Amino acid sequence: MSTARVRLGVLVSGGGSNLQALLDACAREDFPAEVACVVSNVPTAYALERARAAGVPAVVVDHKAHASKAAFEAAMLEALGAAGVQWVCLAGFMRLLSADFLGRFAGRVLNIHPSLLPSFPGLHAQRQALERGVKVAGCTVHFVDAGTDTGPIIGQAAVPVLPEDDEKSLSARILVEEHRLYPLAVRLAVTGQVTLDGVRTRVAAAPTMGELALRSPGATK
């Protein structure tokens, strides 16, 4: 007998490659969640096409069409509620959510961010990393709180920054890992393997690590 799958609402604003990674994961029989609804605040977001192609209800809630943030969030809550959403995943969603909204899904809102938080929160994380000259970059899945990328960290994946990198090449390398990490973190979170402990989380899963740690640079020529 199969157990009921957790119903995810995915909030998007753009291309939706992370949404696609979640849709692909949810298409696997053993994945413990399904995407019940996709909500975009941008009417032209390609992510909406991805949702429709996967047969998932795709709803536009345009922040510009609402008189206030409260009205915008109320409309999103209505869409999520109508779809029976239990957990919310932000996937390239470019609006900050209020504490009121988050309280409606307390401890059940996740985000992916393209840096090794707490370094480089906010916009243009990859550009910030390049400008600061770090040699290792990556991505983070975390619980969402009312701050900007400040919530408890669930998981991270690291990639090297290469000498010839620009924002585009570094973003692409990080994005590959985002697509691996987000489904993994969602699986752990919705199956109760992630416990909140103040500003930290306890995660009942081991890291994957090669024989050596990622070291950047790794060796002289």
CA atoms within 13 A on the CB side of 143: 24
Q: Does 57 bind ligand GRF (CB under 6 A)?
A: no
Q: What is the Cα–Cα distance from 191 to 154, expressed in whole angstroms?
A: 13
Compare residues 15 and 32 and give the one whose CB is closer to ligand GRF.
15
- Is residue 142 part of the annotated active site? The answer reads no
Q: How far is the CB of 16 from ligand GRF (least distance, A)?
A: 5
Backbone Cα Rg of the chain? 18
Q: Does 107 bind ligand GRF (CB under 6 A)?
A: no
Q: What is the Cα–Cα distance from 8 to 151, expressed in whole angstroms?
A: 19
User: Is 59 within 8 Å of 41 (Cβ atoms)?
Assistant: no
Q: Among 1-9, 106-114, 161-169, 200-208, which window interacts with ligand GRF (CB under 6 A)?
A: 106-114
Among 17, 119, 193, 216, binds ligand GRF (CB under 6 A): 17
Q: Does 150 bind ligand GRF (CB under 6 A)?
A: no
Q: Does 92 bind ligand GRF (CB under 6 A)?
A: yes
Q: Exactly one of 63, 66, 113, 142 is catalytic; which is it?
A: 113
Q: How far is the CB of 1 from ligand GRF (least distance, A)?
A: 34
Compare residues 165 and 178 and give the one whose CB is closer to ligand GRF.
178
Q: Does 33 bind ligand GRF (CB under 6 A)?
A: no
User: Is 91 within 8 Å of 20 (Cβ atoms)?
Assistant: no
Interacting residue ranges for ligand GRF, rule: CB under 6 A: 14-18, 91-92, 112-114, 175, 178
